[in-house]
Each structure stands twice: as C-alpha cells, then as structure tokens.
Structure 1
Amino acid sequence: MKSLLKLSTLLCITVAMLTACKKPEVISEAVETAAADETPYRSATIFSGDWQHPGILNSQQDLDRMRSKVNANLQPWKGSYDKLAADFYAQSTYTIRGPQGVTVVNRETGGLDPTGSNTRCDKDSRAAYENALMWYITQDVAYANKSRDLIDAWASVITDFTGADSRISASLYGYNFINAAEILKHTGYSGWTSGYNTRATSFFTGPVYNEIKNYNQIGPGNQDAFIIKCMMAIGVFTENTAIFQRAVDEFYGRSTPANGNLANYILPSGQCQETNRDQNHTQVGLGSLAEACEIGKHQYMDMYGALDNRLLRGYEFTARYNSGNGFASTPVDYDGITGSKDYGDVPSTIGYGTFFPVYALAYYHYGYRKGLLSSSSMTYLKQVAESISPEGTSNDPAAPGFGTLLFAVGPYGGNALTNYSFEGGTVNWYAAGGAILTSNTTLHIEGSKSISVESRDFDYSGPRQDVKQYLLDNGQGLYDLSAYIRTISTTSTIFTGQVNIKLVDGTGTHYYTAKEKYDDSFAQISGSANVTWSGTLTAAEFYVTTPGNSYSIAVDKCSLVKVK
C-alpha cells in the first residue's frame, strides 16, 4: 500500500498511512499529474534499482496502517497488537543480554549452545525487532532507544558466526536485527546517528553476510529460505543491488541447486521438501519464502506470483493436510534434490495440526491484494488463517509472528459504492477526462466482469462515482478506500495506480489518495483516511487514476467503507 496523503491543512485529517516526519502534501486540482519520481518500473525478476525505504518486511505504508488501526482500536489489528504489546521481547524495559565477552556467535547442531551466545543473540534480536515495531506504533522513543542499543550491542562486537548451524544463527538473528535497523533508520528516529548506522552496516555486510553468502545447498530447504530473506534484507538496508539480486536469483533457482529454491522447496502439487520431515520446519520454510516475497513486493517485484503462485500451492497443501482434510493429490516420496536426508515416504505427523503464525501474510496477499479469497485455490489457507487470527508470537526466531497486525488489509464492512464489481456493466459510474467505459467479460477479479477504461486522454481519465450522500449518511470518521487495477494489454512495465476521494466543502476542495504499483495482473490499490469536512459538504466522489500514464486499464472490485 502506498501512503495516504494529507492534502489540505484546512481539513482536520488523520491519515492511516501517514508518512513519518513528513509535512502534509498539498495537491491542487492537478492532483492527477504524476509526481517526478513516478517512473514506470519493470515487471521482471531483475531488480529495477529503485530502492524503497522502509522496504524490508515492513513498508512505510504497513507501519502507518498498523499505527492508525491500533489508534482507532480496530480489529483484527488491535487484537494482534495487544499480543505484541504484552510479549516478553516487546518491552522497553527488556534487559539486554549482549555478547558478554565473546566475539563470535556459536550454534552447533540442533541449536546446542556451548557458550550461551546463540541463545542471547536470538533473544536480543527478537527484542530489537519487536521494540522497533512498538516504537513506530506508540511513538514512545524508549522503544526506539532499546532497539538501537540491542542492535549496537552485537554489531559493535561480533566478528563471526561459528558452529555446525552457523548459517541458521546468522540468517535468523541477522534478519531480525536488520528489520529493526531499517525501521529506526527510515522513520524519523533521531537517535539512529551515523555511528550506529556504520557499525550496523559493517555487521550486516561483514559477519552476517560472510556466513550466509554461499547458502546451504545440502541442508533442509527452510535454511536456504532463511538465507534468502536475510540476504535480501541486507541488500535493501545497504542499497547493494548485487547482494539483493543474488538472493532473488537464489529464490528463482538461478544461483545454486539448493532445496530452498522455490521450485525445489514446493512441488507443483504443493507438497514441500520438508512435508515428510515434520510440519514445524515446513511451516517456517513457507513463512520465510513468503517474507522474501514481501520484501520483493516492497521493491516492486512480484515474487509471490512466481511459478503460477507456487507459494500459494505450498500453503494450501500444508493447511489442508494439517487441518485434517487429506490431500488433493497423492503425496510422493520427496526429500529434495540435494543432500542425503531421507524423510520417509509419507507426510510426517510430527507437529501435525499445530499452526505457526505464518499464515496471515499469505492469506492477506493472495486473498485481499490478489482477490482470491473466494477461490478454491486457497480454501484451506483461508480456513487456517482465520482460525488462528489474530496472530501472536511464534516463540521461534524463524518466524516474526504477529502477522495480523503486520499484514492485515481491509476493507471490512458495507461498501459505499454501488455496482462496485461492475457485474451491472457501467451502471452508476461515469467517466472523466474523455475516457470511454465499457464492460469487460474477459478480465475480472470478482464475478464475471470488470470495467475497461479506454481512449484516455489524461492520466486522470477514468471511472468515477458520486459518494456525497454516503458520506453524509455515515458521517465523518475513518474510511477505507480500495480498487483493483491492471493494464488491459500484456506489459513488462509496472505503473502507479491511485484511488481517490475528492471532497468539496465550505473551505474548498480536498483530496485523499492511496497509491500502489500495478502491471498486467490485477493489483489492489488501497488505503485509509480519517475524513472530515468543514461547513457544508457540497460534493464528493470516488475515482481511479494512474499518475504518469494514460494507457488503457481494467478496474474491478472498488470499495469505500466507513470503518469507524
């Protein structure tokens, strides 16, 4: 999601996606004009080079959504946040364990910890990330200070990761520390000074990267998934394209024949490389691959869609089996392509029916962003994700937990828009900027139709609907707005889509917008805003634009919902 912009200082607006420490942006009637940085991006497996920050597991829009939903006491976010706020590691009073005189983190087979350094680093890394989240949501600097000091305690001392399972410790604990540092660095926290940044950067590109750079080709696939997400995180934090792309290449299987490559970890049936090993490792493997995809999304890469939504198939297979619903296809004796492990001939019952909090991310991406919630392709993913919502801690460094808080997107509740999925053709919609609206029965994300928007003379040429009466009937407050957009023709370019509310009141004209990237597959553009007006509300409309381009688009499943 892209951030909601406060578009007038005359209006009392609390935006749910407010960009930290930035002044409100005032946009005139030319709101549809593209900003200078709205250049198209390639829809490919090669990184474009345009870094987005924060841009690892949490984007600025994610963080803003968390804070706004929690502050508005809205579910399901608040329930997940309450679990975070109560967690042992999320306290600003947390006692830093630190290296305690050692300069290496040692982890042996099975997590054995002869020096205690592995356990201490694990705990401190989790506390660093959870305190960073708490800092942004509460704006209490004590959390930021704690997170910073936790990172620095290890970054300033550790020179190496050693032991038989050193890649696990480097990738998991390093990943937590990097996510924390990314939040502190890019959300207006003044305590993240150059010295802290330099030491953290050296730690991430030195001991952490050096330990994971050659992957773990002969190990269980979940370990390579840990490495992929950590390496991508290092690339983002340091803006190192080579490191980032190297991890992406590993995800796609272009680097090494490892079990953690997407195609090797998840078979076309959805069975995973560790399905016959146990269900715990299988789930954290899936969760880590999903986190890698989320990092890619924040850098405008659609890794979720790779191999025809192969990640979704892995989740669906695992959720179906562990919820007692058998298999859509007969499981096979598959142990991966490398190594000598023999996990057995059938899916393991070890950890059976115990669900890790790794489902929310996939559920909200495929269900809400991609509009597949009612699809048979995620029947059991939906069932499991909803049964364990709101997600809390995983009690495992391999999964951050709290996915409902981190990744839940709406909207929920009654829709202000009529004919919102265009099953009635163009009824109740009108065009702006010379566009021609027609019913499209070929491209659609819900039902059997969408709307084609063609002959667009301007980037603001598009579908609009009057929502004045809905706003008057429901009053001022927090609203979610959303639409699904894609190009009509096939393209390798990613563009910017925008959904908007335009209000005219006693003080003038005001705009609320939400932006996101789209290409030739439907992408959800969504956000939230606390809408108020002064004096008489004389006009209000919901509409869709594409800043910087006037190519033909298809639009589907639009919504405007009062949530509080």
Structure 2
Amino acid sequence: MLVSRPQLDFVKAKVAAGAQPWAAAYQQMISSRYASLSRVPAPRETVECGSYSNPNYGCTDEREDAIAAYTDALAWYITGNAAYANKSIALMDAWSATIRRHTNSNAPLQTGWAGSVWPRAAEIIRYTYGNWPNQARFATMLRNVYLPVVIGGSSSNGNWELSMMEAAVGISVFLEDRASYDRAITRFRARAQAFVYVAADGVRPKYPPVGTVDTPEELYSYWHGQRAFTDGHAQESCRDFVHTGYGISAIAHVAETTRIQGVDLYPELQDRLRHSLGFHTKFENGTAVPSSICGGDVTLGLGPITEVGYNALHNRLGFAMSNTQSYTERLRPQGSNNLFVAWETLTHANNPA
C-alpha cells in the first residue's frame, strides 16, 4: 500500500544517480533519528493516549517506532543493506510481542495513526526481504489490536475517521482480508465526500456518514461556523490547517493504495482532492483570506502532505495545480510530521510508476 515496487525501483535508481529532489530527500531520511540502527524500540502492553496525547504513555514511542520501521524498510530497499531490514523487523517484532490495547480518549486516533504506518513497513519487508520468522505474530497484532478499533470508524472530526480508514485499508491489504478492505473503502468514500466540499454537492456539504449531525444548523456548527462554501473547503479548515492536512493526506494515501490494488479511486476523488489541495496551499502561499472564509482568519500549518496527491493529479492526470505546485516544490524535501506521514518527496515526487 501507498508505495509500489515499481515506484520503489524508480526511487532507487534516482538516488543512485544522485538526481534531485530524490537524493536530497534520501539524505534527509537516512540522516534522521528514524534511520538510526542503534534505535531501541519502546513497546508497551497498553498505550494510553488522552486528548492531544495528554497523558502520553507510549503514544509518541509507538508512532515513532512505526515510522522508524517504515524508514528502515525504505532504506533497506534503496541501499540493499540488510541491517536496515533487520532493524525494521526488530521494531515490528518488539511491538507485536508486547502491545495488547490502546486506551483513553485518543485511542481510536492513535490506533489509526500507528496502524497506517506499520503495514507500509511490513509490506516492503515481506515482499522484498522475506526472512521474517515472526511475521504471523505481527499479522495477529494488526488483526486483534488495530483492525477492530479502526474498522468501525468514528463520528468525531473527519480527520479521525479518514486516518482510521487509511489504517483499516492498509491493514486489510497486509492481511489479504477482502471483506475488511471493502468495508473500509465504503466508509472511506462516504467520509471523503463529507470532508471536502465541491460545488456539485449543492448549497451545503454532505452530511457525515455517522453521528448525530443531520440538520443544516448542526452541519454549520460541525464545519466550525462556515455557512458559505467554496470548492476545496474542508470540514476542519476553519479549525486549523494542521488537522485538515491530516484528513487530506489520508484521502491521498487511500487513493494511492486503491490505484496500486487495481481499483483506482482517483477519478472519483480527483475534484475533491485537487480543489482541497489548491484551496489550502493558496493561503499557505500567502494569499489573503477573504472574510467569506472562516471570517477572514485561518490557522496555517498544512504540513508535508501534498506530494502524493500532487503527483497523482498533476503528473498522472494532468491538472495544472499551480498553488499546490508552488507549495510542494517550496517545501521539498518533505519529511515527516512525526505522526503518520514520512518521506513523501522521496517516494512520490514526480514518480511516474
């Protein structure tokens, strides 16, 4: 999921040739703490995460160990150095031998974030390295600890459910579980439509697929007071662009996975995804916010989340996307948000595969 073997082969060749931006993106990754071969995993039986990870009992450790496992898997494929594959395996093994549950109010979101990243590492290791005696135990961890939490979705803000569906989709791919995959995709499609507004929706956005929001006034409140809607405006835009970016990222990640899996959702999502990227990057690039949008005041901070969607929509499908292009190229190499996004300039910048 997210990155295919042909995409990895493209990246490997570009890094070997010293081509940009991939060489700089690789150096960014391999110099990060996530690529350290001396990293010691910090698994817990119970990961307890309250609101905004307060309390934080294992929340950061879990997310960062998952990112490290994925980082090491990428490093293994690009370099051929088995030490990275073995470090990725050691991190996954440590957690699969230990974790049993997530608790407290942020448990579903934490499960979604970590559950989005673990399978990325696992897929690369399983299919390109192969020597992984505890692979079945890792699969059991995904099935018993992560999948039951995320597959049911959430009635909270849209970034929660989109991240949870990303995890459910990726886990289902790793487990070869078609029933769970189909269930997650169905919920994902409904939530993506309810997260980003386009004019074809009518005068108001679509209602969320679950929860108690079912009147216009409740919908306006759910959209943080916004009452007039523009193509690309997202449910959390007037909250802040950070959380909005989480949702946009998850939409792109799931779409990329569906393309790899053979039933491509990009054509269905292209208008929502390109407009949402363009809407938010326009203001990140310095355009003044009109009073009709969030009362003229937004909180920026979209983050390193544009490469996957931009590559798919601009390079593959041919949309101009000038605002997104400016933002994406200015931020290169895009690194990690230390939650569930990692090294997407390396894996997806101008990647035709």
Q: TM-score, normalised by structure 1?
A: 0.55
3-state SS of 1:346 partner:
helix
- The reply to whether residue 241 of structure 1 matches residue 178 of structure 2 is yes
Q: Which residue of 2 aligns with 1:126?
A: 67
Q: Which residue of 1 aligns with 2:317?
A: 370
Structure richer in helix, relative to its length: 2
- The reply to whether residue 213 of structure 1 matches residue 160 of structure 2 is no
| Letter of the 1:266 counterpart | V
Q: Which moved more, 1:135-144 or 1:354-363?
A: 354-363
Cα distance between partner residues in 2 of 1:328 and 1:307: 26
Cα distance between partner residues in 2 of 1:97 and 1:178: 18
Contact 2:47 2:58 in 1 (8 A): yes
Q: Which residue of 2 aligns with 1:388?
A: 331
Of residues 275, 293, 301 in structure 1, which corresponds to 2:255? Answer: 293
Give unmatched runs, 5+ long, in structure 2.
199-230
| Letter of the 1:358 counterpart | I
Larger radius of gyration: 1
- CA-CA distance at 1:140 after TM superposition: 0.8
Of residues 176, 181, 187 in structure 1, which corresponds to 2:122? Answer: 181
Contact 1:83 1:393 in 2 (8 A): no
Contact 1:132 1:143 in 2 (8 A): yes
Of residues 70, 73, 77 in structure 1, which corresponds to 2:15? Answer: 70
| Letter of the 2:339 counterpart | P
Contact 2:280 2:302 in 1 (8 A): no
Question: How many residue pairs were aligned?
Answer: 321
Cα distance between partner residues in 2 of 1:168 and 1:264: 18
Cα distance between partner residues in 2 of 1:75 and 1:295: 25
1:417-456 map, 5 Å: none
- CA-CA distance at 1:409 after TM superposition: 2.6
Cα distance between partner residues in 1 of 2:254 and 2:167: 8
Cα distance between partner residues in 2 of 1:95 and 1:130: 14
Q: For residues 93 and 311 of structure 1, do their structure 2 counterparts lie closer, same or farther at Cα, with a shift above 3 Å needed?
A: same
3-state SS of 1:61 partner:
helix
- Alignment root-mean-square deviation, CA: 1.8
Q: Which residue of 1 aligns with 2:162?
A: 225
- The reply to whether residue 314 of structure 1 matches residue 276 of structure 2 is yes
Identity level (%) = 27
- CA-CA distance at 1:97 after TM superposition: 1.8
- The reply to whether residue 58 of structure 1 matches residue 3 of structure 2 is yes
Q: For residues 387 and 168 of structure 1, do their structure 2 counterparts lie closer, same or farther at Cα, with a shift above 3 Å needed?
A: same
- The reply to whether residue 158 of structure 1 matches residue 120 of structure 2 is no
User: How far does the alpha carbon of each residue in 1:239-272 deviate from its partner, in whole angstroms, 9 at most, with x for none?
Assistant: 111111111101221xxxxxxx111110111001
Contact 2:289 2:296 in 1 (8 A): no
| Letter of the 2:164 counterpart | I
- CA-CA distance at 1:141 after TM superposition: 0.8
Q: For residues 307 and 70 of structure 1, do their structure 2 counterparts lie closer, same or farther at Cα, with a shift above 3 Å needed?
A: closer
3-state SS of 2:266 partner:
coil
| Letter of the 2:341 counterpart | A
Structure richer in strand, relative to its length: 1
3-state SS of 2:295 partner:
coil
Q: Which residue of 2 aligns with 1:49?
A: none
Give unmatched runs, 5+ long, in structure 1.
1-55, 254-260, 332-344, 411-525, 528-564
Of residues 107, 110, 113 in structure 1, which corresponds to 2:55? Answer: 113
Q: For residues 347 and 399 of structure 1, do their structure 2 counterparts lie closer, same or farther at Cα, with a shift above 3 Å needed?
A: farther
Q: Which residue of 2 aligns with 1:197?
A: 135
1:10-25 map, 5 Å: none
Contact 2:255 2:264 in 1 (8 A): yes
Cα distance between partner residues in 2 of 1:291 and 1:300: 14
Q: For residues 139 and 347 of structure 1, do their structure 2 counterparts lie closer, same or farther at Cα, with a shift above 3 Å needed?
A: farther
Q: TM-score, normalised by structure 2?
A: 0.86
Contact 2:116 2:340 in 1 (8 A): no
Q: For residues 179 and 212 of structure 1, do their structure 2 counterparts lie closer, same or farther at Cα, with a shift above 3 Å needed?
A: same
3-state SS of 1:305 partner:
helix
